[in-house]
Structure 1
């Protein structure tokens, strides 16, 4: 004959499990929310991939001499973290160093609610970072997307003619993060924990 655990032990176990799940959910939410601000702080300290400042002004770019003797292949990559559709409208293009160029990206909110999002750029090879100058970029500011909204976002850039001669391809990669991800409800978490516990306490 099977023995049932005391009701008080069940309640204690449920409370303990609920607290643990709530803490984990809260930590995940906090980490996702703080990721972009942490990245911005690191960028301000190191000067790498600064999100809040242009790498070059339009006037500076237009005053740069175009090197018609060289062609650089630029590849575009897009990644999304959260309920976002995100892609470049073209995957690559050839440019001359010093030539002002525009590429368009599309980002879509796949949720029935308004979201805030931020894009973070990165480059490969790493040595190309200081030579890829963004004049205009959606990554400079947070983006607000209404429910089911799609936006076309431009990146205006120029490759510095001082780019080392051995670099012939640059990959520009963006990762879009949702900033206001809702935390899981404690009610749903409690119900899941209680349901799991009730199954384990049924007699064989």
Structure 2
């Protein structure tokens, strides 16, 4: 009887731990989104926000610098241009160039970040490759567009904004290599 009670107690504890792990995993998405919102990382345009008809502020220019980084991806990734000078409120089109250097498809997700951090709230992306995962075939190269507007409400003392993307490999999406070993374990 004592052993059976011990087994039930262990089973109950394991079920509680499994339930807590599931709950934590389920809560990670909203917690990550809140963290990104608070820290200014991955500032995406909210489709529920009404788009305002903004006037271009021709009285000043802001330099937007572009940066590209890879985290464990077998790709080449760079901006089409290193910087651009724009008026706040002006619609801007730029591209990033990416190439897969492997002989199999690879999927990645780009995460944007901004410097200075307060600029993130004023950097409105209308089109961006970072909105979805990108899968590149073997040796494939692609120009990926970014269309953005800098809100004229950007503080006057901010003259330079850095838009930096880091591409991360999406786990579990690698296709098998083109050649397999003849014998298992070789």
Does structure 1 conserve the Cα–Cα contact (< 8 Å) formed by 2:42 and 2:113? no
Residues 136 and 156 of structure 1 are in contact (CA less than 8 Å); yes or no, is this contact kept in structure 2?
A: yes
Q: 1:153 aligns with which of 125, 144, 159?
A: 144
Q: Give the aligned length.
A: 143
Deviation digits for residues 49-76 of structure 1 (CA, Å, limit 9, x no counterpart): 447x53579x826x21110001000000
The reply on whether 1:169 has 2:160 as its aligned counterpart is yes
Give, in whole Å, the separation in 2 of the partners of 1:87 and 1:117. 15
- Counterpart in 2 of 1:77? 67
Partner residue in 2 for 1:67: 57
| Corresponding residue number in structure 2 for 1:138 | 129
Q: Say if 1:49 and 1:142 are closer, same or farther in 2 by CA, change over 3 A.
A: same
TM-score (norm 1): 0.64
For residue 80 of structure 2, the aligned residue among 76, 81, 89 is 89
Q: Give the secondary-structure state (helix, strand or coil) at the position aligned to 2:54.
A: coil
What is residue 110 of structure 1 aligned with on the other side?
A: 101
Between structures 1 and 2, the one with greater helix share: 1
Output aligned runs, 1:34-49, within 5 Å: 42-44=32-34, 46-47=36-37, 48-49=40-41
**2:118 corresponds to which of 121, 127, 138:** 127
Q: Whose Rg is larger?
A: 1
> Aligned-pair RMSD on alpha carbons?
2.4
Once the 2 structures are TM-superposed, how far is the Cα of residue 41 of structure 1 from its aligned partner?
A: 5.0
Equivalent residues of 2:78, 2:98 under 8 A apart = yes
**Structure 1 residues 56 and 131, CA gap change in structure 2 (3 angstroms):** farther
Give the direction of change, closer, same or farther, for the CA distance of 1:39–1:105 in structure 2 (3 Å limit): farther
User: Runs in 1 of length 4+ with deviation above 6 angstroms?
Assistant: none
Q: Report the Cα distance in structure 2 between the residues aligned to 1:103 and 1:151, rounded to whole angstroms.
A: 13
TM-score calculated relative to the size of structure 2: 0.69
Q: Runs of 5+ in structure 2 lacking a partner?
A: 1-27, 175-184
Judge conservation of contact 1:40–1:50 (CA < 8 Å) in 2: no
